[in-house]
């Protein structure tokens, strides 16, 4: 039931305000996760927190219009989205350098 409500909220925001506002809404709802732009994609990391993972799974749900932007998932709780709908992307592991 709660998932359906969240789908409706995300769909309303997406229809009225677009991609960026859904990302802002998600960022506000995450408890431990983070949102970061990487290599032209938006990475939402959940930090392994179940509630944050539920939010990401809602974004990828078939009834959520935002799922058109879903690109993939990597182990450890990282969900990737592209502003372009139905973008074809190749998921490769990129190690970030610490300065």
Q: Give the structural domain span for 61.
A: 2-81
Decide if 96 is inside a domain: no
Domain count, the chain: 1
Decide if 65 is inside a domain: yes
CB atoms within 10 A of CB 85: 12
Decide if 90 is inside a domain: no
Q: Residue 49's pLDDT is what?
A: 83
pTM of the model: 0.86
The answer to whether the beta carbons of residues 82 and 89 sit under 8 Å apart is yes
Residue 94 has pLDDT above 70, yes or no: no
Decide if 28 is inside a domain: yes
The answer to whether the beta carbons of residues 52 and 46 sit under 8 Å apart is yes
Q: Rounded to whole angstroms, how far apart are CA atoms 60 and 79? A: 9
Decide if 98 is inside a domain: no
Q: Rounded to whole angstroms, how far apart are CA atoms 5 and 27? A: 18
Give the SS3 label for residue 16.
helix
> What percent of the chain is modeled with pLDDT above 90?
70
Decide if 93 is inside a domain: no
pLDDT band at 7 (very low <50, low <70, confident <90, very high): very high
């Amino acid at each position: 039931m709660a998932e359906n409500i969240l789908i409706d909220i995300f769909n309303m925001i997406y229809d009225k305000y677009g991609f960026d506002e859904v990302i802002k809404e998600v960022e506000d709802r995450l408890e431990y996760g983070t949102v970061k732009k990487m290599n032209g994609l938006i990475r939402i990391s959940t930090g392994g927190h179940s509630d944050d993972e539920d939010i990401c799974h809602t974004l990828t749900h078939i009834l959520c219009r935002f799922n058109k932007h879903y690109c993939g998932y990597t182990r450890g709780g990282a969900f990737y989205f592209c502003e372009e709908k139905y973008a074809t992307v190749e998921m490769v592991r990129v190690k970030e350098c610490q300065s």
